[in-house]
Amino acid sequence: MKRWIPLIVFAVLVGFFAKGLFLNPREVPSPFIGKAAPAFTLPVVGSAEKTFSPADMQGKVWVLNVWAPWCVSCRQEHPVLMGLAQSQPVPIVGLNWKDKDREAEALLAQAGSPYAFVPDDLSGKVGIDYGVTGTPETYVIDKAGIVRMKHIGPIDPDVWKEKFEPKLKELGA
């Protein structure tokens, strides 16, 4: 019996590998998918009095884009978002995450802002509530305020077309 052990161990491993071939290790599910978007109220960049809260978007399908002025891949993504802001398939809210150097306002004034609102998450707390692992990250939130999709990393035209467009269509944006 003992001499068969290596073969049996190997056979079990092969079974797992065969299963593993059809799984995608990079796809990390967000526990927030299908749940209500965490509520918050934050001041808006460039204005002392105005605030933004997800409740303001009730009844609309919208996109929450977590970005920061110090984030390089967010700059890569910026022109893509600018293009989207022009064709306006959906409002984009840009959560300004941990902008300790207060650079967002100047940057958006200079490079243009693709955002409908720019809530200012200086402490990073809202980002934590949303489970942000790094910038940029983008959430699709439906009319009832439920998180429907999360994308990690910069959005490029292909990602938008293949991942976002079908989802937005499904949600009736």
Partner 1 sequence: MIPELGHFVLIVALLLALIQGILPLIGAQRGNTALMALARPAAQGQFVFVAIAYACLTYSFLTNDFSVENVARNSFSQLPEVYRITATWGSHEGSLLLWVLMLGFWTTAVSVFSRHLPDDMVARVIGVMGLISVGFLAFLLVTSNPFDRLLPAAADGRDMNPLLQDWGMIIHPPMLYMGYVGFAVAFAFAIAALISGKLDAAWARWSRPWTTVAWAFLTFGIALGSWWAYRELGWGGWWFWDPTENASFMPWLAGTALIHSLAVTEKRGAFKAWTVLLALTAFSLSLLGTFLVRSGVLSSVHAFATDPARGAFILAFLAVVIGGSLTLYAWRAPKMLTGGPFTWFSREAMLLANNVVLLAAMGSVLLGTLYPLLMDALGMGKISVGPPYFNAVFVPVMAPALFLMGVGPLARWKGDSLPDMVARLKWALAISVATGLLLPLTLKGFNPWATLGFTLSAWILLTVLIGFRERLKHSGRLANLPRGYWGMQLAHLGMAWGVAGITLVANYQQEIDVRMKVGDHTSLAGYTFTFQGTTEEPGPNYRVAKGTVEVSKEGKQLFVLHPEKRIYNASGMPMTEADIHPNFFRDVYVALGEPLDEDAKTWAVRIFHKPFINWLWLGALLMVIGGFMAASDRRYRIAVKKSEAPAGAAAQGA
Residue ranges in contact with partner 1 by CB under 8 A: 3-4, 6-7, 10-11, 13-14, 16-23, 25-29, 70, 72, 76, 101
- The CB-of-90 to partner 1 minimum distance in angstroms stands at 27
Nearer to partner 1, 75 or 163 (CB): 75
| Residue number, 16 or 59, with CB nearest to partner 1 | 16
Min dist CB 150 to partner 1, Å, is 14
Shortest distance, position 107 Cβ to partner 1, whole Å? 9
Instruction: Tell the smallest beta-carbon distance from residue 67 to partner 1 (Å).
Output: 14
Q: Which is nearer to partner 1, 7 or 48 (CB)?
A: 7
Three-class secondary structure of residue 121 per DSSP: strand
Q: Give the nearest distance from C-beta 70 to partner 1 in angstroms.
A: 7
Based on CB atoms, which residue is closest to partner 1, 42 or 81?
Answer: 81
Q: Distance from CA of residue 117 to its chain's centroid?
A: 15
Give the torsion sign (CA, 142, 77, 66, 34). positive
**Integer Cα distance of 173 and 167 in angstroms:** 9
Straight-line distance from the first to the last Cα atom of the chain, in angstroms, rounded to the nearest whole number = 63
Amino acid, res. 83: G
133: closest CA among 66, 74, 72? 66
Exposed / middle / buried, residue 44 (Cβ in 10 Å: 0-12, 13-18, 19+): middle
Query: Based on CB atoms, which residue is closest to partner 1, 145 or 154?
Result: 154
CA distance 152 to 133: 8
Tokens of 67: 């970005």
